[in-house]
Amino acid sequence: MSKLKPHKGKLGILTPGMGAVATTFIAGVIAVRKGLGQPIGSLTQMDRIRLGKRTDNRNPKVKNFVPLAPLKDIVFGGWDIFPENVYEAAIHANVLDKTLLNEMKKELKKIKPMKAVFDRKYVKKLDGKYIKKGKTKMELAEKLMKDMKDFKKSNKCDRLVVVWCGSTEVYIKDSDVHSSLKKFEKGLRNNSKLIAPSMIYAYAALKMGVPFANGAPNLSCDIPALLELAKKTQTPICGKDFKTGQTLMKTILAPGLKARSIGISGWFSTNILGNRDGEVLDDPDSFKTKEVSKLSVLDQILKPKENPELYKDLYHKVRINYYPPHGDNKEGWDNIDIRGWLDYPMQIKIDFLCRDSILAAPIVLDLALFMDLAKRANMSGIQEWLSFYFKSPQTKKGLDPMHDIFKQKIKLQNTLRHMKGESLITHLGLDYYDEKK
């Protein structure tokens, strides 16, 4: 691994989409900077990492171990189809208390979105007027690149990172136009219908060597053409779909049941939520994108083909319903039918009253800081070590994504150890072996 470049200057974090998640992230970081709250849920800010042998007692905080950009050096920006500043958008999202937001009103009001690249064909439930005009998708990509250059200059940033926090787009299959950079660029010039706005943002960022993380389940940078571009410009990419609420629970619970060889015959998951994300997901085409992302998790963890006695007949269903009274406070129910010794049935019921954006905001922060670090460590292409944060981790072609959250965490920590030349830890050392040493 080549040398890690140190952090210097300012880091600009740009989010296409400045709705509930993005504004909760921005206001949250500013609140932490002002000492108004704790960055709970953020590994980069709260977690420690063990180094060396257990007896060495070396457990620094992650942020003191690797040279991450400190919160004080972050500048925020982004794009949206509505012109509201971050204060107004956060009030609209109704995630954080107004009293807390009012303490940061001045700073939040100054953060205004840039005009979006948007087309209703890809998010049918939304209709904003604050959008860029361009004859071709290539022209729109060029406008986004100009936005990034201008933002970097006017905010005196040393580096930028882009984290997609925009709405979930309709389901698009990986197709011929996505298969190579040449075909993709031709598609941009010809306004191919198979190129969604999120792909245009990803293209623009990667073309400029700006790391791109995708928080929604739409393909965005998960296509060969953009992987090729990421390699060409030596830029890190990762996605898809922030792992929050119900899927977070699933990837915590399923590895535990599997570890004890407990059978599972059914897992029914239903959600009700009433924020704008919920409204967008009420459209069957956007829901399809989310469903594909949510369903893949159990198969990969339980591997029914390898363990047919335990998981062959597993029935897995995911539902999402828009229910305005709940706002951003999603309710996720899971009914899990499990089987024990001699096939005796049992049930687990979970009712998770979660706050979606409260769980997603620290993920945006960690991804932005780690992607910036990856870039300074000369790591390009898919950052599989960040699978920890995603429902549907992007992987190299032919590889199954890893969903087990505990394996994902070990991979993340070992990547950090590797970056700093520390020995990797598998937690598999034998006591007997340790004693002999």
Ligand X SMILES: NC(=O)c1ccc[n+]([C@@H]2O[C@H](COP(=O)([O-])OP(=O)(O)OC[C@H]3O[C@@H](n4cnc5c(N)ncnc54)[C@H](O)[C@@H]3O)[C@@H](O)[C@H]2O)c1
Assess 20 for contact with ligand X (CB under 6 A). Answer: yes
Rounded to the nearest whole angstrom, what is the least distance from the CB of residue 306 to ligand X in the complex?
Answer: 29
Assess 360 for contact with ligand X (CB under 6 A). Answer: yes
Assess 118 for contact with ligand X (CB under 6 A). Answer: yes
Q: What is the dihedral of CA 94, 95, 96, 99, to 10 degrees?
A: 20
Q: Which of 126, 177, 367, 386 is the binder for ligand X (CB under 6 A)? A: 126
Pairwise CA distance, residues 50 & 344, whole Å: 41
Q: Which of 12, 39, 77, 166 is the binder for ligand X (CB under 6 A)? A: 166
Rounded to the nearest whole angstrom, what is the least distance from the CB of residue 217 to ligand X in the complex?
Answer: 7
Pairwise CA distance, residues 291 & 151, whole Å: 35
Assess 357 for contact with ligand X (CB under 6 A). Answer: yes
In the shown chain, the binding pattern of residues 170 to 199 toward ligand X, with x for contact by CB under 6 A and - for none, equals ---------------------------x--
CB 7 within 8 A of CB 69: yes
Rounded to the nearest whole angstrom, what is the least distance from the CB of residue 170 to ligand X in the complex?
Answer: 12
The single residue listed with the structure tokens 């609209």 is 92
* Closest by CA position to 6, among listed 427, 436, 419: 419
CB 214 within 8 A of CB 220: yes
Identify which range of 4-12, 53-61, 163-171, 343-351 contacts ligand X by CB under 6 A: 163-171
In the shown chain, the binding pattern of residues 73 to 112 toward ligand X, with x for contact by CB under 6 A and - for none, equals ------xxxx----------x-------------------
Q: Which of 42, 44, 45, 167 is the binder for ligand X (CB under 6 A)? A: 167
Identify which range of 17-25, 315-323, 366-374, 393-401 contacts ligand X by CB under 6 A: 17-25
Assess 116 for contact with ligand X (CB under 6 A). Answer: yes
Assess 276 for contact with ligand X (CB under 6 A). Answer: yes
CB 291 within 8 A of CB 281: no
Q: Which of 244, 392, 394, 415 is the binder for ligand X (CB under 6 A)? A: 244
Strands 263-273 and 315-322: parallel
The single residue listed with the structure tokens 């389901």 is 171
Give all strands (DSSP E) within 165-278, no chain letters: 212-214, 236-238, 263-273
Please write down the long-range contacts of 341-348, taking CB distance under 8 Å and 24 or more positions apart. 343/263, 345/265, 348/253
Rounded to the nearest whole angstrom, what is the least distance from the CB of residue 430 to ligand X in the complex?
Answer: 40
Assess 168 for contact with ligand X (CB under 6 A). Answer: yes
Q: What are phi and psi of 381, to 5 degrees?
A: 75, -155
* Closest by CA position to 19, among listed 11, 7, 27: 27
Identify which range of 113-121, 219-227, 344-352, 427-435 contacts ligand X by CB under 6 A: 113-121
Q: Which of 11, 14, 21, 373 is the binder for ligand X (CB under 6 A)? A: 21
Give all strands (DSSP E) within 212-324, no chain letters: 212-214, 236-238, 263-273, 315-322
CB 221 within 8 A of CB 392: no
Nearest to ligand X of 42, 244 (CB atom): 244
Pairwise CA distance, residues 402 & 395, whole Å: 9
DSSP, res 390: B
In the shown chain, the binding pattern of residues 194 to 233 toward ligand X, with x for contact by CB under 6 A and - for none, equals ---x-----------------xx-----------------
Q: Which of residues 23-82 bind ligand X (CB under 6 A)?
A: 79-82
Q: Which of 185, 222, 283, 356 is the binder for ligand X (CB under 6 A)? A: 356
Assess 123 for contact with ligand X (CB under 6 A). Answer: yes
In the shown chain, the binding pattern of residues 299 to 338 toward ligand X, with x for contact by CB under 6 A and - for none, equals ----------------------------------------
**CB within 8 Å of 23: residues ≥ 6 apart:** 86, 89, 90, 93, 95, 108
Pairwise CA distance, residues 223 & 221, whole Å: 6
List interacting residues with ligand X (CB under 6 A): 16-22, 79-82, 93, 116-118, 123, 126, 128, 165-168, 197, 215-216, 241-242, 244-245, 275-277, 280, 356-357, 359-360
